[in-house]
């Protein structure tokens, strides 16, 4: 990721917490511990790790949490209660993914259910398809064993460097748009004054991806 020189925020992961409210399903905490609602329903990035059944001190005492580490515009940690439907549906979805799929960007979405329930749905951001999971027999599942299985798979998977992932994303989008190499170079020259995607900064690369995704939705 691009390093910005000078004064700025402390370079630490941004924690995201899951909680069903009237108009949002997750939030961040400010430096003075005030809740900052997140109204977007999805976060897209590369999963870099997971911690299951992690003991955390909360205002209500010690609790077990699931921490999903995901690299997007910056590192995020999605924290949910280990016994929550969000955490369990997250584990079911991650268990259904292959090691190859885990190397590419994925979209983590919150799906509100009844009362205080929130489910997790994972999407492929290129195909827009969700990862299908089944809740059949979920009461018989040993969630601790499943968590350990998912943890081993994710933490042992070699994640590609973010720039490699982003370049691969543009390859996919350019192919779907049937753009020729000359079309791509012409756009980069006009938009960024550069001849190659390799010359783009991380910010410019993400901007280019957003532009290509917009063209796909309009085609």
- Per-residue pLDDT tens listing for the chain (219 residues): 556 678 877 888 999 999 999 899 999 999 888 999 999 999 998 898 999 999 998 777 889 999 999 988 789 999 999 999 999 999 999 999 998 888 888 999 999 989 899 999 999 988 889 998 888 888 889 999 999 999 999 988 765 566 777 887 788 888 889 999 899 999 999 999 998 998 988 788 888 988 998 888 886
* Confidence (pLDDT) at 1: 53
Task: Compute CA 200 distance to the chain's CA centroid, rounded to the nearest angstrom.
Answer: 22
* Spatial CA neighbour of 160 closest among 107, 104, 108: 104
Positive or negative CA dihedral for 3, 7, 9, 10? positive
Q: Which helix (H) or strand (E) holds 47?
A: strand 42-58
Cα 21 → chain centroid: 21
User: SS3 for 56?
Assistant: strand
**What is the model's pTM?**
0.73
């Amino acid at each position: 990721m691009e390093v910005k020189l000078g004064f700025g925020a402390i370079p630490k992961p941004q924690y995201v917490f899951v909680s069903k409210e009237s108009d949002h399903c997750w939030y961040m905490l400010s430096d003075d511990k005030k809740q900052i609602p997140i109204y977007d329903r999805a976060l897209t990035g590369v999963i870099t790790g997971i911690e299951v059944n992690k003991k955390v001190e909360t205002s209500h005492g010690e609790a077990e949490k699931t921490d999903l580490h995901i690299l997007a515009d910056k590192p995020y940690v999605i924290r949910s209660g280990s016994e929550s439907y969000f955490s369990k549906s997250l584990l079911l979805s991650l268990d259904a993914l292959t090691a190859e799929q885990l190397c590419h960007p994925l979209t983590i979405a919150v799906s509100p259910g009844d009362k205080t329930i929130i489910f997790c749905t994972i999407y492929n951001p290129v195909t827009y398809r969700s990862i299908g999971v089944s809740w059949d027999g979920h009461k018989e599942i040993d969630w601790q064993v499943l968590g350990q299985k998912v943890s081993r798979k994710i933490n042992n998977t070699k994640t590609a460097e973010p720039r490699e992932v982003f370049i691969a994303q543009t390859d996919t989008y350019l192919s779907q748009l049937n753009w020729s190499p000359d079309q791509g170079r012409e756009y980069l020259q006009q938009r960024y004054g550069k001849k190659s995607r390799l010359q783009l900064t991380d910010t410019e690369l993400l901007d280019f991806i957003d532009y290509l995704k917009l063209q796909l939705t309009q085609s």
